[in-house]
Amino acid sequence: MFAGSAAVVDEWTDVPFLPAIPGVVVAWIVSVAIHEAGHFIVARRSGMTPYCVAVIGLYAWASSDGWRVRFTRLPASVGGFVISHFDADRSFRQQMLPMLVAGSGANLLMGLLLGAIGAWFWPSSGGAYLCALAFFSACVGVANLIPVRNKFLDNDGLLLLHWLRGDCEHAPAMLMHRLNALSIKGITAENYPTEWIEGLRDTPVLGPAVRHWFRLCARQNTGAWSDIAEIGQEFEADVQALPPAAAKALSVFIQQMRTEVVFSEAMASEHDDGGICRHIDALLDWYFPALRPRCQALEAALRGDRVAMRGFLGESEKKMRKTHDLGYKKSEEIIRGSIMAAAK
Ligand SMILES: [Zn+2]
């Protein structure tokens, strides 16, 4: 596509090849951005909640404190992606199909539109660039509809094929999505169907480790703090069994889980055993900004500093205000109440 678009500009206009190259790079970035914007807009219109968007190296995450953006290196075979939570009350298939088609749909639509505008201004260099951009956008759209298995992410065409053919909606791999959808809706972990949580044990690769998260949240919300040390040990055993690449992909979650285990043990023993924040690093702060001040609030509560505790609780609450995850918000409210009750 790169060579094709550059050649279009080079051959059909007076613009020399080399200055056309930055134009083609821009065309590539714009085409991927159009593609992901299509996914994002239609996901929202279908009732889904997008929470993670990547375009080339730009990575945006809907944290509890609003959208956060940073640069990251994506695998060379992945231009971008949008990841969304489902609406628990609607058919997943009816949400997924329009969202999958929307990326390529946006590319083809923009291809037509920009091609028409470019043709109008032809043969000026601006018109030629617009035609090249239209060509590029259409190529990105068509390429994404051809089913290709990717090491990192199944592409739209392959996912579309799965969702059109099979009963993906009730596949065990969807259990995690079902549980997340309940959380988005405002249902907290102690009210999730136990068979869904236990079913994660049989889902491939990440399921067994992630299952402990829902078990842990259910215990935290009901004040069963002393049960959590055992969940922590089972979690560590499942982490040990993960392939190295999967453990790397889950590294933020692993640190989050370890922090929650340390937090819960401190709640159970009413004793700070060496710093409740000790597993929180800069990346965990970036993803879950309310976690550190909540842990600091417990540290303050256990040393009898009620003024500092209230300050940290207020800070943590403030960082939860923009969350889209209503179940997470409710759980944090319950936990803040437990910290106040534990204050010496
Ligand atoms: Zn796509």
Question: Which tens digit of pLDDT belongs to each residue from 102-123?
Answer: 999 999 999 999 999 999 988 8
Q: What is the CA radius of gyration of the chain?
A: 24
Protein residues within 5 Å, CB atom, of ion ligand 1: 103, 144, 156
**Residues 154 and 227 both lie in one domain:** no
Whole-number Å distance, alpha carbon 106 to ligand 1 midpoint, is 10
Same domain, 128 and 182: no
Q: How high is the pLDDT of residue 170?
A: 84
* Number of domains observed in the structure of the chain: 2
Distance 112 CA to ligand 1 centre (A): 18
Listed residues 168, 188, 208: the one ending a domain: 168
Q: How far is the centre of ligand 1, averaged over its atoms, from the C-alpha of 253 (Å)?
A: 25
How many Å lie between the centroid of ligand 1 and the Cα of residue 79? 9
**Distance in Å, CA 87 to ligand 1 centroid:** 20
pLDDT of residue 30: 92
Q: What is the pLDDT of residue 343?
A: 85
CA of 86 to the centre of ligand 1 (A): 17
Residue type present at position 129 = Y
Q: Are 163 and 91 in contact (CB under 8 A)?
A: no
The residue among 267, 234, 256 whose CA lies nearest residue 334 is 267
252 shares its domain with 111: no
Q: Kindly give the distance from the C-alpha atom of residue 150 to the centroid of ligand 1, in angstroms, as a whole number.
A: 13
- Which pLDDT value is given to residue 18? 44
Q: 99: CA distance to ligand 1 center in Å?
A: 9
CA atoms 71, 74, 76, 79: torsion sign: negative
Going from the Cα of 105 to the center of ligand 1, the distance in angstroms, rounded, reads 10
Give pLDDT, residue 9: 47
Q: Of the residues 109, 135, 168, which one is the last residue of a structural domain?
A: 168
Q: Are 209 and 250 in the same domain?
A: yes
In Å, what is the CA distance from 196 to each residue of 33, 92, 125, 182, 328? Answer: 36, 16, 58, 11, 18
Centroid of ligand 1 to alpha carbon of 175 (angstroms): 23
Does residue 325 surpass a pLDDT of 50? yes
186 and 162 inside one domain: no
Calculate mean pLDDT across residues 188-213.
Answer: 92
121 shares a domain with 13: yes
CA of 179 to the centre of ligand 1 (A): 24
**Ligand 1 centroid – CA 75 distance (Å):** 15
CA of 85 from ligand 1 middle (Å) equals 16
> If you average pLDDT over residues 211-230, what whole number do you get?
97
Last residue of a domain, one of 168, 188, 206: 168
The pLDDT score that the predictor gives to residue 73 is 83
The pLDDT mean for the chain works out to 90
Tell me how far the alpha carbon of residue 80 lies from the centroid of ligand 1, in angstroms. 8
* pLDDT greater than 80 at residue 153: no
What DSSP assignment string belongs to 132-195?
Answer: HHHHHHHHHHHHHHS----SS---HHHHHHHHHHS-GGGSGGGHHHHHHHHHHHT--GGGS-HH
Both 82 and 223 in one domain: the answer is no
Please give the residue range of the domain that contains residue 207: 172-342
- The packing angle between helices 207-222 and 175-185, to 10°, is 30
- Residue 163 confidence (pLDDT): 94
- Residues 46 and 157 occupy one common structural domain: yes
If asked whether residues 219 and 140 sit together in one domain, one would say no
Cα 9 to averaged position of ligand 1 atoms, centre (Å): 26
Same domain, 321 and 255: yes
User: CB of 132 within 8 A of CB of 8?
Assistant: yes
Split at pLDDT 50, 70, 90, the class of 168 is confident
137 shares its domain with 196: no
**What number is the average pLDDT over the span 266-281?**
92
Q: Are residues 140 and 228 in the same domain?
A: no
